[in-house]
């Protein structure tokens, strides 16, 4: 059985892939002159990104604040794996701080406060 914390992390990863992937497709369409349907596909993926975070158990502000850290981390990975731009030590440190912030925001025990 998947624990709520693991499911939450999976939702963050899916949302990150959808936002970065959808944004990347729009980028390719507008900046690199890919066909119009690439931009349309990116827009559809971005709509999906807007839906996925609603499955998180926390409230909007907490989810989106934490997601910002996930986005930083995943954007650096995307740039490294897809664009071939290796993050430097400051990128890695910044991303690690962001991920630490995500863990504090989303997964610190708060008793019965959602």
Question: What is residue 2's predicted lDDT score, i.e. its pLDDT?
Answer: 87
3-class SS of residue 27: helix
Helix or strand run (H / E) with residue 109: none
- What's residue 4's pLDDT? 86
What is the rounded average pLDDT for all residues in the chain?
A: 93
Give the residue-averaged pLDDT of 13-19: 95
Q: How many residues does the chain have?
A: 114
Q: Which of 93, 53, 61 is nearest to 76 (CA)?
A: 93
| Residue range 42-67, pLDDT digits in tens | 999 999 999 999 999 888 998 999 99
Pick the range with the lowest mean pLDDT from 16-30, 42-56, 60-74, 83-97: 60-74
All residues at 6 or more sequence positions from 98 whose CB lies less than 8 Å from its CB, including other chains = 68, 69, 70, 72, 73
């Amino acid at each position: 059985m998947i624990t709520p914390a693991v499911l939450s992390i999976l939702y963050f990863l899916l949302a990150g892939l959808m936002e970065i992937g959808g944004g990347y497709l729009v980028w390719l369409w507008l900046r690199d002159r890919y066909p119009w349907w690439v931009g349309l596909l990116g827009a559809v993926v971005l709509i999906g990104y807007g839906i996925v975070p609603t499955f998180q158990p926390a409230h909007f502000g907490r989810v989106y604040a934490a997601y910002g850290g996930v986005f930083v981390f995943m954007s650096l990975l995307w740039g490294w794996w897809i664009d071939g731009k290796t993050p430097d030590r400051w990128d890695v440190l910044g991303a690690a701080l962001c991920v630490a912030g995500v863990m504090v925001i989303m997964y610190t025990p708060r008793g019965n406060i959602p």
